[in-house]
Amino acid sequence: VKLKWIYSGDLENGNAEDYLKNLDGILIAPGFGDRGIEGKITAAKYARENKIPLLGICLGMQIITIEFARNVLGFEKANSMEFDDNSPYPVISLMEEQKDVIDKGGTMRLGAWKCELKPNTKIAEIYNAELISERHRHRYEFNNDYIEDYEKKGLIPSGFNPETHLVEVVELKDHPFYVGVQYHPEYKSTVASPHPLFIAFIKASANHKK
């Protein structure tokens, strides 16, 4: 596997194709803050439209959600409340238990949480399971008010916390591999035992290369 590190801010100058056109897979990594966000949204759009395998982790899943809302659902000013708390379409919202938190140190949703996978989806196929446990580190979440809008257009919420119904996974129909996860699979991946999500992403990227 050959890796190419791209600073997402470089994709905000109208020349994103120059950076992305020869890639066989794109991973949008976790992060915080709004620096380079529009570049990440551009990368997600490019991968979606050009059928390039894409894996979004934590913030990466949220980027997938924002891009789809803007460019497929027609919610032009859709955003995360982390970046614009006045957005008319807050498709990523602050978790309910976080809204009154002033001192943010150590208050994120942390640790391992259960996730139910929707049958007959790509994520269920990858895990070969109906119930998984993955580790988290986040404060914002998919806004469930928009679930039906996404499902109608083909971005499927395919993993949910069984107790809170928080969306943990989204995936795009009719695409070789376009998956976003709110959790951090890297926390459970080792050289000796790589995470099945990374194996599936690399396989999809290898198939794209062919």
Question: H or E segment at 42?
Answer: helix 37-49
Tell me the DSSP string of 160-207: E-TTT--EEEEEETTSSSEEEESS-GGGG--SSS--HHHHHHHHHHHH
Alpha helices in 59-154 (DSSP H): 59-71, 122-127, 147-153
Catalytic residue among 130, 186, 195, 208: 186
Question: H or E segment at 93?
Answer: strand 90-94
Query: Among residues 81, 77, 58, 59, which one has the least CA distance to residue 69?
Result: 77
Catalytic residue among 58, 134, 136, 195: 58
CA distances, 208 to each of 39, 71, 180 (Å): 23, 24, 18
58 flagged as catalytic: yes
Query: Among residues 99, 101, 90, 27, which one has the least CA distance to residue 58?
Result: 27
Catalytic residue among 76, 184, 195, 208: 184
Is residue 16 a contact partner of residue 43, using CB atoms and an 8 Å limit? Answer: yes
**Which residue is it, tokens 């309910």?**
96
Is residue 116 a contact partner of residue 127, using CB atoms and an 8 Å limit? Answer: no
168 flagged as catalytic: no
- Mind telling me the catalytic residues? 58, 184, 186
